[in-house]
Structure 1
Amino acid sequence: MSGGLYRSNHAADGYPRPEQGVTVVSVDEQSATASGDQALPPENVPPASDDSGGKSTAGQSAIMAIGSMVSRVIGFVRTALLTMTLGGLVGNAYTNAQFLPNQIYELLLGGILSSVLIPLLVRRRKEDPDGGQAFTQRLLTFAVVSLGIATVLVVVAAPLITAIQSSDDADPDSTRLVTQLAYLILPIIFFTGLSGLIGAVLNVRGHFAAPTWAPILNNLVVIATCGVFILAYGSSGELTPKNITATQIALIGGGTLLGMVVQALGLLPALRKVGFQFRWNWAPRSLGLREIGQLAGWMLCYAGANQLAVFLVVRVLTKTAGDNNPSTLVYNNVFLLIMMAHGIIGVSVMTALLPKMSAAAAEGRYDEVSADLNRGIKLTSAALAPIVVIYAVLGAPIAVFLFQGARFTNANALATGTVLTVAAFAVLPLSLSYLCTYAFYSLQGNKTVALINLPVVAVRIGAYLVLAEVLKPALLAAGMTAANGISYLVSALISLAVLRRRIGRLNLGTVVSALIRVAIAAGIAAALGLLVLHFLPGSGAPDGRVQALIQLIPTGAVILITYLAAAYLLRVREITQVVGMVRRKIGR
């Protein structure tokens, strides 16, 4: 249900992979087939496997958690460096070119990999006498050929794809630059697919470390590319679609492609470690492609609707790309910040609740599913509220501190801050909509998720079109972000209504009461934060990183302390539990 351009395995690691933040999940293949549903994969939930090589689930989870956090940090360094190196105008074109392979990959393989192929690999791993070795070889052979043909066709059609993506009144120089970058970046489709398939093979065999850590190699290559670019061409002087040279285009586009190649190659040693040997085995008829196609239908519906919305938002934002207004670069950077908050808090809560909810649903204990859902909503809301306030109050200082530098000016960073302030109000609806989606996963209602997504995307697209007509170009990126927030809220409301019909009473009265208390605590924290910010140098519009830091540290501390104190006094249960635990530890 994402409204972002980049969908990352680690939510905000800087590499645009299929995120909506989705990786892999195990499902009951027989149940999915019988019901006509198939899993629409949650984020970062590894499939069940008996081949963990003696490593405990806790140990595997720790490796994944550490890798995910390191990837987030390095990914943000990558994002910030690209922003500073390229600046707003060329950065927009680069973002548009990066968007193309990921949208196409998502339609070709992204969701199908997690929702259909991984469960199939799990089943063949358990049922085949050779542990699924021959089947996996046939699948990889077919995928390599298919991805190779698709990639060649897409690269040849790069000018046409770019023309369709660009709005009629887009800057011709920007459109030409997107096409030139696309020739270099579109081959990422092949290596992204190869990386995803190898990761699936490893996950099915109980190896999670390499797929978790491999994106870091990608990020490091791109960071190095930015370093070479700055050393060779300097960090000052405006870089535009008109004055960028062919050598500069080759460096930044080639470095981006090289990062994905290194990521894919970095997974090969892990294949040998788990005992899988790849041999060319061309036998597509033995793969059951008709069954795979039938299972993939709803996933394609889900992914297709999302990609239509992403296509539209890129087309709308390309209208502003030539005027130094916030465009796709700013929009996407802010989306990564939203996904970071969601990934740290929302996904953690969901991953903890999903096994319990699934077990309760399997035994028909729907009252427990309802109780876990309520608990998740209250916990997620209480934990995300201070982040929402910090994003809303300190949007400009955060953007200046993270992104300003080299060719990304103070004005660009302050404009990013405006978009982040608007995006703050989308953080909570996003996580709540995902939490409801996880409840459907526990009920094996994945087809329902795809159907709910259709009106949600319709609302999002409608909001895009309306806001594109009424807003000034300088506010379009903020408007598109607001449209995403509206669609997330609609998704949560529709999902709750459908869940009520599926599992009965949801006890939403207690949830509303808790949300009101959280909102009051957040409001008090926001008011005090704004008061403190008013008396600091720059008054919320810092002119550099030093001033941004001066605003961030005291104001952020006041917001956090005030929120915790107010929530404790208002008896927000989740906060009182944390405070009580800390007090007991101090007492000991």
Structure 2
Amino acid sequence: MVVPNESTSQQRSPRPVSVNSSHSARVVSIASGTLASRVTGLLRVLVLAWVLGFTPLADSYNLANTVPNMLFDLVLGGVVGATFIPVFVERLTLDGERRAWRSISSVVSGAIVVLVVASIVSWFAAPLIIDAFTSLNHAHSAATLDTLDHQRAVATELLRWFVPQVFFYGLIGVATALLNVRHRFGTAAWVPVINNFVCIAVLIWFHLVDPSPTVASVQGTRDLLYLGLGTSLGVGLQFLALVPSLLRSDLWRLTLRFDPRDPAVKAVTRLGSWTLLVVLANQASLYVVLAFAFGVGGSGPVSAYTYGWSFMMMPYAVVVVSVLGALTPQLASLATLDDLEGFAERLRFGLRQSLVIIIPCTLVLVILAQPLVAILLHHLNATRRLSAGVVLAILAAGLPGFTIFQLAIRGLQAMQRASTVFALYVLQNALTVALCVLLGRHSLAGLTASVSLAYAGGAVAALWALHQRHVTLISGLWSVHVRRSLVASGLATIAMAVAYAGPSSNQGLGLVTRFAVALTVGIVVYALAVVLWSRRVARANRNGARF
């Protein structure tokens, strides 16, 4: 918990100038790996769309491959991300190395047991899980009913081969937390590249052995088994790639032991109980979104939502996840020391770093979503409105709210305000579900808008919650850097829209040229606007005026 501390505030020496540069170096290290991971992840999505398209088989694969992530978050993922690093840092700060690593060993050992049990239970529960997700899709003809039955069977079979991912994702999460505690950030950001390349290779192989697969033709085949095992193999190799870094990170005191009375175990249990409730709320909301998407019907609605979300998350993952990865240990240390002023400054700094890049990325994705999806997923054909493009544009509009919400939540987690975090997630997820029922029951666009609007509402509530705890982020939201990015992005958006609206082809090389011209115009206008703004600020500073 962070509270004002007059004595520490009065005695604290000035913060070194190198703090920001050190943080920036860590962000660059994480961002470079995250960028490589996201680029190869994008390539994986492209290959997946090329091999499976927007078909019932694609929906079965994407649904089954989403569930292990949901299950991991449910049983451990949320707890790892929200509690392990703050608790580990707190033990190392207060107890010293020897006692701290005994505590950390207890937490890690308990986590491994939970992962094993969860994986076994998930394998047996696979049919029930898939039935729950597909329950809102009601077939209106015998042919549709037959396809739906095959979809469920294929998704169930794939899910059983994807279940090992729950265990490996858990090991990756624990390993990443241990590396972050030792201030080793780069490796964890790079290893998803291995997973992506393995999956790409498996998908290409699958296309070569079955160029025109359907849910009926692949059900129960050895090819489907290899597709499932190959996808999970990528996650296993992703964990193995972390092992050399773990061996070099001075973790030799880590042992397999479990003491439920250990203070770290108690802290993780206390904070984790709230986090588990948060994860339950998140997964309930995601279930509603995916179930409604599956119920929309038509040409691959689940795949359209999945691909649109993947594209929207790319700038967030490269920028914000990198910022948060470097920022979280600092926030945890400042929270442990009750340095409220330093805590707020660090969080505002991370917010500024994130928004100056997220804002232009948002507007680019909103304006150019349709041609981007057409070029990457629909064989250079934008002659009709593409559902994945609609999803991407609407989700991108909510990206700033999503960013602010996640940054504020990370700050509250570092302060160990678990009950407040739970309340905020309940609010955000309740908004999502309510809006989905109102807007998204029969429309993919309405469903997607519900998600974006809910995150905007959650962001406002999260900022208010931080303000109530004397951590105000308004100056970070409206700093000169953010205002400059907002104005420049607005001008660039107008220029891009005008450039793309010009007469040109909607397919083939003409579409690529049209997209490239619009994007180039936007970049040039953005750069010019930033330069002019900076010169204006410099003149104002020379004249002693406030800008």
TM over 0.5: yes
- SS of the counterpart of 1:313? helix
Q: Relative to structure 1, is the Cα distance of residues 275 and 380 closer, same or farther in structure 2, using a 3 angstrom cutoff?
A: closer
Give matches, 1:279-298, under 5 Å: 281=256, 283=258, 285=260, 291-298=267-274
Give matches, 1:35-434, under 5 Å: 62-89=28-55, 90-122=57-89, 127=95, 130=98, 139-170=107-138, 171-234=148-211, 237=212, 239-245=213-219, 246-274=221-249, 276=251, 281=256, 283=258, 285=260, 291-321=267-297, 323-325=298-300, 327-347=301-321, 355=330, 362-365=338-341, 369=344, 373=348, 380-405=354-379, 414-434=386-406
- 1:557 counterpart = 2:520: yes
- In 1, Cα distance between equivalents of 2:188 and 2:403: 25
- In 1, Cα distance between equivalents of 2:88 and 2:461: 33
**What letter is aligned with 1:493?**
V
The CA deviation at 1:212 is: 2.9
**What letter is aligned with 1:172?**
D
Structure 1: state its 5+ residue gaps.
Answer: 1-30, 35-55, 581-588
Q: Relative to structure 1, is the Cα distance of residues 564 and 495 closer, same or farther in structure 2, using a 3 angstrom cutoff?
A: same
- In 1, Cα distance between equivalents of 2:395 and 2:101: 46
1:136-192, Cα deviation, whole Å (9 max, x unpaired): 555544433332222112101111111112124352221221111111111211122
- In 2, Cα distance between equivalents of 1:370 and 1:85: 48
- In 2, Cα distance between equivalents of 1:411 and 1:449: 45
1:166, 1:315 within 8 Å by CA — same for their partners in 2? yes
- SS of the counterpart of 2:311? helix
1:404, 1:412 within 8 Å by CA — same for their partners in 2? no
**What letter is aligned with 1:468?**
G
Q: Relative to structure 1, is the Cα distance of residues 389 and 196 closer, same or farther in structure 2, using a 3 angstrom cutoff?
A: closer
Point out the more displaced range, 125-134 or 170-179: 125-134
**What letter is aligned with 1:87?**
G
- In 1, Cα distance between equivalents of 2:355 and 2:481: 9
- In 2, Cα distance between equivalents of 1:467 and 1:459: 12
Give matches, 1:461-500, under 5 Å: 461-469=433-441, 471=442, 475-476=443-444, 478-500=445-467
Q: Relative to structure 1, is the Cα distance of residues 189 and 443 closer, same or farther in structure 2, using a 3 angstrom cutoff?
A: closer
The structure with the greater share of residues assigned to helix is 2
- In 2, Cα distance between equivalents of 1:61 and 1:508: 22
1:89-138, Cα deviation, whole Å (9 max, x unpaired): 22211111012111111111112123333444445667477465655555
The CA deviation at 1:508 is: 7.1
Q: Relative to structure 1, is the Cα distance of residues 317 and 133 closer, same or farther in structure 2, using a 3 angstrom cutoff?
A: same
- In 2, Cα distance between equivalents of 1:496 and 1:254: 43
1:454-491, Cα deviation, whole Å (9 max, x unpaired): 2121111111111134x4xxx41x32221111012111
- SS of the counterpart of 2:386? helix
Point out the more displaced range, 527-536 or 340-349: 340-349
Which residue does the alignment assign to 1:533? 500
> Quick one: percent identity of the two aligned structures?
24
The CA deviation at 1:347 is: 4.7
Two-structure CA RMSD over aligned residues (Å): 4.0
1:345, 1:383 within 8 Å by CA — same for their partners in 2? yes
Structure 2: state its 5+ residue gaps.
Answer: 4-21, 139-147, 541-547
Q: Relative to structure 1, is the Cα distance of residues 378 and 536 closer, same or farther in structure 2, using a 3 angstrom cutoff?
A: farther
Q: Relative to structure 1, is the Cα distance of residues 81 and 414 closer, same or farther in structure 2, using a 3 angstrom cutoff?
A: same
- SS of the counterpart of 1:167? coil
The CA deviation at 1:313 is: 0.6
Q: Relative to structure 1, is the Cα distance of residues 183 and 577 closer, same or farther in structure 2, using a 3 angstrom cutoff?
A: farther
**What letter is aligned with 1:387?**
C
- In 2, Cα distance between equivalents of 1:579 and 1:304: 53
Match of residue 408, structure 2, among 417, 420, 436:
436
**What letter is aligned with 1:211?**
A
**What letter is aligned with 1:562?**
V
1:377, 1:432 within 8 Å by CA — same for their partners in 2? yes
- SS of the counterpart of 2:61? helix
Which residue does the alignment assign to 2:16? none
- SS of the counterpart of 1:88? coil
- In 2, Cα distance between equivalents of 1:111 and 1:437: 12
1:405-425, Cα deviation, whole Å (9 max, x unpaired): 5xx987899332222222231
Point out the more displaced range, 390-399 or 161-170: 161-170
2:60, 2:155 within 8 Å by CA — same for their partners in 1? yes
The CA deviation at 1:80 is: 1.5
- SS of the counterpart of 1:243? helix
Q: Relative to structure 1, is the Cα distance of residues 561 and 389 closer, same or farther in structure 2, using a 3 angstrom cutoff?
A: same
The CA deviation at 1:259 is: 0.9
**What letter is aligned with 2:169?**
T
The CA deviation at 1:309 is: 0.4
TM (norm. structure 1) is 0.74
**What letter is aligned with 2:408?**
C
**What letter is aligned with 1:313?**
V
- In 2, Cα distance between equivalents of 1:142 and 1:182: 25
**What letter is aligned with 2:50?**
M
Which residue does the alignment assign to 1:14? none
**What letter is aligned with 2:176?**
G
**What letter is aligned with 2:39?**
V
2:356, 2:485 within 8 Å by CA — same for their partners in 1? yes
